[in-house]
């Protein structure tokens, strides 16, 4: 790290033990991602309740190449944060997850969402329990009544948009697990 870790205590006395725990957690983040440029951690106990313990709030601001990662753990959501160490642990877990996501994006490891094959029903033969789909690529696929999921085959209409799993059957290209696509879906 280019800059030393900054630790700020708000509405609470400075604690060497808490500071040591924060430095340990920052060191673990650096082992995972060595390009952290700066880190500022704020720990505060803004609530003073006499009938229950104070809830600790931990904020982490990491400066990384081409970005910044900010974590704010809201104590109102986590009553376990009456313990400063639990609040620190949870905040650094969230920071690690965000850092992992950032590292994946940097490496280009972002999951590509594969669009399932889709098309339009152009033929229905209910008395023989089948229909045919013209895929978005122009190919024609057979599908059986039992392949239509999530609805009643008899309610299908020519022109309905569907998505499906493609395979090869006795009658050539075949669609299985056919699902009706909502009216707002745009076909490529």
Q: Mind listing the pLDDT tens digit for each residue in 58-89?
A: 999 999 988 889 998 665 555 666 888 988 99
Three-class secondary structure of residue 20 per DSSP: helix
* 12 token code pair: 């609470």
| pLDDT score of 183 more than 70 | no
Note the helical H segments in the chain. Answer: 16-32, 84-107
User: Is there a single domain that holds both residue 75 and residue 130?
Assistant: no
Q: Which domain holds residue 68?
A: 6-107
| Whether residues 12 and 101 fall in one domain | yes
Mean pLDDT confidence for 113-130: 88
Q: Percent of the chain scored above 90 by pLDDT?
A: 43
pTM for the whole thing?
0.55
61 and 142, same domain (yes or no): no
> Are the CB atoms for 100 and 92 separated by under 8 Å?
no
Place of tokens 């990491």: 62
Q: Among residues 107, 127, 145, which one ends one of the domains? A: 107
Q: What percent of the chain is modeled with pLDDT above 70?
A: 84
| Of 78 and 115, the one with more pLDDT | 115
- φ, ψ of residue 6 to 5 degrees: the values are -100, 130
* Highest-pLDDT range among 12-16, 51-55, 108-112: 12-16
């Amino acid at each position: 790290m280019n800059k030393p870790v900054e630790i700020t205590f708000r509405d609470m006395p400075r604690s060497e033990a808490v500071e040591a725990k924060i430095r340990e957690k920052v060191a673990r983040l650096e082992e995972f991602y060595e390009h952290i440029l700066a880190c500022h951690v704020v720990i505060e106990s803004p609530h003073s309740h006499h009938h229950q313990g104070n809830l600790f709030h931990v904020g982490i601001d990491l400066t990384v190449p081409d970005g910044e990662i900010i974590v704010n753990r809201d104590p109102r959501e986590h009553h376990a944060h009456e313990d400063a160490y639990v609040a620190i642990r949870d905040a650094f877990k969230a920071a690690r997850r965000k850092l992992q996501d950032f590292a994946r994006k940097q490496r280009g490891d972002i999951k590509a969402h594969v669009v399932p094959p889709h098309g339009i029903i152009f033929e229905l033969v209910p008395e023989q329990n089948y229909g045919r789909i013209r895929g978005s690529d122009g190919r024609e696929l057979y599908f059986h009544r039992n392949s239509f999921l999530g609805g009643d085959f008899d309610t299908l209409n020519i022109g309905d948009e569907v998505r499906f799993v493609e395979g090869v059957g006795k009658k050539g290209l075949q669609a299985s697990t056919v699902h009706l696509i909502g009216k707002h879906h745009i076909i490529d």
